[in-house]
Amino acid sequence: MTIPHTIEREGVAIKVDCEFALIEGERGSRNSYGAPETPDVPDELEFIAATIGAIEIQLTETEIKAATHAAWKQINQVNL
């Protein structure tokens, strides 16, 4: 999935497209009474790349975290 995001470098706002892979978690096992025996594994987002047009750019760890946070917000809005 590709999420548009804005980063700031040297005081300039730059619009980039961030590509993520959504890795679906799994539900933990339950006993015959429905009580959990193992914990659920949550969904994860894996950052793949950031591009401006056809040019791939490198993001800092802080920029990746901000883009991932924005992607989760967008995913959660869609699921409401």
Mean pLDDT over 32-37 rounds to 90
Look over the chain and give the mean of its residue pLDDT values, rounded to a whole number.
Answer: 91
The secondary structure of residue 38, as a DSSP letter, is S
Please answer whether residues 33 and 18 qualify as being in contact, where contact means their C-beta atoms are separated by less than 8 angstroms.
no
Q: What token pair was written down for 21?
A: 């892979």
pLDDT in tens, 49-79: 999 999 999 999 999 999 999 999 988 887 6
Alpha-carbon span 29 to 69, nearest angstrom: 29
Mean pLDDT over 20-39 rounds to 91
The secondary structure of residue 27, as a DSSP letter, is P
pTM: 0.76
